[in-house]
Amino acid sequence: MSETFDAYVITRDEETKTQSGGWTTVSTDDLPEGDVTIRVRHTTMNYKDALAITGKSPVVRRFPMVPGIDIAGEVTASDSPDYKVGDEVIMNGWGVGEVHWGGYGKYARMKSDWLLKKPEGLSGAQCMALGTAGYTAALCVQRLQDAGLTPEDGTILVTGASGGVGSVAISLLAALGFTVAASTGRTEEEAYLKGLGATEIVDRNTLSEKGRPLDKELYAGAIDSVGSTTLANVLSKIKYDGTVAACGLAQGFDLPATVMPFILRGVTLAGVDSVMAPKARREAAWALLDKQLDRAKLAEITQSADIREVESLADDLIAGKVRGRLVFDID
C-alpha cells in the first residue's frame, strides 16, 4: 500500500542546466528500485549533501534527486534474506544522494548490499551524529593503524579540525592514546577542540599557503580532509616513515606537492574512500567507533537541527560556520 510523504527534492531545468530544490509531496511508489524499504528516523548533513543542495559542485548526477547520503531507521519491507521488518539499519554512501534517492524524506528504498545492521552500542541518532563524516574518520584512523602507527611514534595532525571528520578523528585518536594537533582557522574553537582531546592548536593559515617542499619533521602522521596546498604542506612536515590519510578536498582537489617527502622520508599518502568501501571495512570502522568513541565527546560534537532548514544550513556548512555534526530527526 502506497503512502505519501514530504521529501526535499532537487530538480534541474534541462534547457538552462540550472538546479533548484524544495519540499515536495512524493509517494512510496516513487521510490527507486531496491529490495529493502526503510522508515527513515534520523539523517544528517555532510559536506557532499551541502554541495548537492547549493549546487556549488555537480554532485547530483540524476534528477529528480532526494539528497541525504546517511540514513538510520528501521526496515518496513524486505525482499532480502539478510533483513527483516523491524531491523534497525544504517546506510552510508554508495552514490545515494547522487544517483539514488537518499534520506531527506520519511521513507527510502535501498539495495540490501548497501545496508549495515545498526551497531548495538549506538542509537540511530548517534549513528547519524557520526554519519559518513564519523565513519570516514574511523576509516582514516584504521589506515594509520594499518600503517603501524602507534601513540609512541608521535603527534598526529588533523586538518579541518572543527568539521565533522576532524572532530570525530580528534576524539577517536585521543581515545586510542594518540597525541593530537588540531589545525583550524577558527581560534574561537580552541576550547572545543581541546575538549575533544587535542593538545595543540595549529593555525590553518600556516598550512594553507605555499610552503617548502620539505619542512621540519613534526608529525608521525596526519588525517587530512582539506587537500590542495594544505595537504602538500602536511606531507612536507611528516616524520620519516610516517603516513597521511587523505579523505577530502575542502580547499581543492589539486595537490601542488613534490615527490621529496615520499623518496627522502618514505612518507605514505593513503587515500581513503568512504563511498564504495567494501562491507567488511565498513563494519570494522563502525565497530571501532562503537568500542572507542567517548559518548560524552560525541554529544559535544553533535547539534540537533530542523530538516526544514536544510538550505540555510547547507550555506552555513559550505561557509565553514557549522561546528561538528548536524542531526535531523525525521519524526
CATH topology of domain 131-271: Rossmann fold (3.40.50)
* Beta bridge partner(s), residue 223: 158, 245
Cell numbers standing for residue 286 = 563502525
Query: CATH number for the 4-118+301-329 domain, one of 3.40.50.1370, 3.40.50.300, 3.40.50.720, 3.90.180.10?
Result: 3.90.180.10
Instruction: Answer yes or no: same fold for 4-118+301-329 and 131-271.
Output: no
- Using one digit for the tens of pLDDT, what is the confidence trace for 251-260? 999 999 999 9
What φ, ψ does residue 85 adopt, rounded to 5°? Answer: -55, 130
pLDDT of residue 3: 95
- Using one digit for the tens of pLDDT, what is the confidence trace for 216-246? 999 999 999 999 999 999 999 999 999 999 9
- Spatial contact of 98 and 68, defined as CB atoms under 8 Å apart: no
The dihedral formed by the CA atoms of 317, 296, 273 and 114, expressed in degrees to the nearest 10:
-100
Is beta strand 219-224 parallel, antiparallel or unpaired with respect to 268-271? unpaired
What is the sign of the dihedral through the CA atoms of 41, 137, 293 and 180?
negative
The reported pTM is 0.92
Domain ranges of the chain: 4-118+301-329, 131-271
Can the peptide bond before residue 64 be classed as cis, meaning omega within 30 degrees of 0? yes
Under 8 Å CB-to-CB from 15, ≥6 apart: which residues? none
Give, for all 331 residues of the chain, the pLDDT tens digit: 789 999 999 999 988 888 999 999 999 999 999 999 999 999 999 889 999 999 988 899 999 999 999 999 999 999 999 999 999 999 999 999 999 999 999 999 999 999 999 999 999 999 999 999 999 999 999 999 999 999 999 999 999 999 889 999 999 999 999 999 999 988 889 999 999 999 999 999 999 999 999 999 999 999 999 999 999 999 999 999 999 999 999 899 999 999 999 999 999 999 999 999 999 999 999 999 999 999 998 998 899 999 999 999 999 999 888 888 899 999 8
What is the sign of the dihedral through the CA atoms of 49, 190, 206 and 134?
negative
pLDDT of residue 331: 81
Q: What is the rounded distance in angstroms from the CA atom of residue 119 to the CA atom of residue 139? A: 16
Tell me the three-class secondary structure of 235-280, residue by residue.
Answer: HHCEEEEEEEEECCCCCECCCCCCCHHHHHHCCEEEECCCCCCCHH
Name the amino acid, one letter, at 194: K
Q: What is the rounded distance in angstroms from the CA atom of residue 206 to the CA atom of residue 201? A: 11
